[in-house]
Amino acid sequence: MDYRLINIHIFGNNHAVVENQFNILHDLPHVSLKRTVDSNFTGALDKQSAGSDIIILNLSEHALLELKSLENTDTAGKSLVVIGDKSNVNLLSVAISVGVTEFIDQRSYQDNLFKIINKIIFNRTEAYRGSKKRKLNAIVNAKGGSGGSVIASNIAYVLSTFKDSKVALLDMDLQFGTLGLNFDLAPKYTIVDVFNSISDIDVVSLEAYMVNYSDRLKLLLPSSNDIILPGEIPSTAIKALLSMLQRNYNQIVIDLPRIIDPLTTTIVEQADNVAIVVQQTLAQFRDSKRLIQILNKDLDIPLDKIVIIINRYDPKNSLKKSDLVEMVNHQNVFTIANDFEKVSSASNLGEPFCKTSPNSKIAEDLKRLAMFLGEEHETPKKNSIVNRLKGLFV
């Protein structure tokens, strides 16, 4: 099963039209559809479209203002589809300047809407599937108990449901790690065994040290019987392990303890993303600011590789995501809902909650995060005018 859920949000001021479009798109697979009917939908556009992959705007007689409102909307990574009067050249040129992906004429949307949205979804999904790049994501908690291990486990599980993926999940909390319990798995050979015999191990024999959750998800786990001191493992051993893993797996997820030693330093240096898990308290928000500084200033990790995850996020809490963004001056922030019941019942079953409650809010949040971490993130090339025009006139 492919977990790549696409979020589509339709905005407009005509109830019947929006309803009709909703019905046209209703049966697309792996799609989550929302609609907002409001005579002044531009006011709340930025807030309401957050989390959408595709925004569909039905332009009214205030079309120009509505298009301009896209300038104040966070549209990064989103596909913008506008339905309006395509014979109005002025509207078309404004549409191009605000980055609209497709302009559909209002008179013919019934024939074109499904086809165009289907094409956008196909392109977005293929872009992901076609990526051959190996990704290494390190998950660090700002404090024990923040949820680092549960989140790393679920990210690895979600990534393993993507087509053609092979995922390795490593628990680097060599002394106290219990990540295996999230899958009801215990190691036969441990990660410390791997380090002890690293010079004798090759890509084939490494597989014998991994614990199978499924064909696509394998774990490398520590054991509380291993006595190992922080700093004891040389960075050459971890480099050798990572390079062997990268030959066998296209997604590597590492649950890291918050210790700065040669082992963790080598991993964060090699990672494509370093995700810091915090809870929604002022103290942890401050901690994350310090961690970002250590990673960026002391370890030279570029800021765009650093992701903050606010776990157990409660939107009613007076401390908001925007407060964190402001405090740490960092935009790459995700939230994961608080759901004691789903998390603890999954934990009792020894399964990831994304498997036991795939449609819950917490699983949706997690999937969005996993999709971000699992994809390639090259700086988007500025779309040329010619390409944008091509998009507008299909």
Contacts to ligand ADP from residues 316-345, by CB under 6 A: 336, 338-340, 343-344
Is 141 one of the binding residues for ligand ADP (CB under 6 A)?
A: yes
Is 311 one of the binding residues for ligand ADP (CB under 6 A)?
A: yes
312 binds, among ligand ADP, Mg ion, none (CB under 5 to 8 A by kind): ligand ADP
| Among 43, 77, 144, 315, contact with ligand ADP (rule: CB under 6 A) | 144
Widest distance between CA atoms in the chain:
73
Among 286, 342, 291, which residue's Cα sits nearest to residue 312? 342
Among 259, 153, 264, 171, which residue's Cα sits nearest to residue 223? 171
Among 142, 361, 167, which residue's Cα sits nearest to residue 249? 167
| Among 79, 146, 266, 357, contact with ligand ADP (rule: CB under 6 A) | 146
Q: Which is nearer to Mg ion, 49 or 149 (CB)?
A: 149
Q: Which long-range contacts (CB under 8 A, 24 or more apart) does 62-65 make?
A: 63/88, 63/91, 64/90, 64/91, 64/94
Residues 6+ apart with CB under 8 A from 228: 174, 175, 192
- Per-residue contact flags (x/-) with ligand ADP for residues 212 to 231, judged by CB under 6 A: --------------------
Q: Tell the smallest beta-carbon distance from residue 126 to ligand ADP (Å).
A: 32
Q: Tell the smallest beta-carbon distance from residue 297 to Mg ion (Å).
A: 25
Is 177 one of the binding residues for ligand ADP (CB under 6 A)?
A: no
Q: Which is nearer to Mg ion, 113 or 174 (CB)?
A: 174
Q: Tokens representing 21?
A: 């479009």
Q: Tokens representing 218?
A: 């394998």
Is 149 one of the binding residues for Mg ion (CB under 5 A)?
A: yes
147 binds, among ligand ADP, Mg ion, none (CB under 5 to 8 A by kind): ligand ADP
CA–CA dist 284, 279 (Å, integer): 6
Task: Give how far the C-alpha of residue 187 lies from the chain's centroid of Cα atoms, to the nearest Å.
Answer: 28
Q: Tokens representing 151?
A: 């989140």
Is 196 one of the binding residues for ligand ADP (CB under 6 A)?
A: no
Q: Tokens representing 93?
A: 């040129």
Q: Which is nearer to Mg ion, 94 or 310 (CB)?
A: 310
Instruction: Point out which residues bind Mg ion (CB under 5 A).
Output: 148-149
Instruction: Point out which residues bind ligand ADP (CB under 6 A).
Output: 141, 144-150, 311-312, 336, 338-340, 343-344, 347, 362
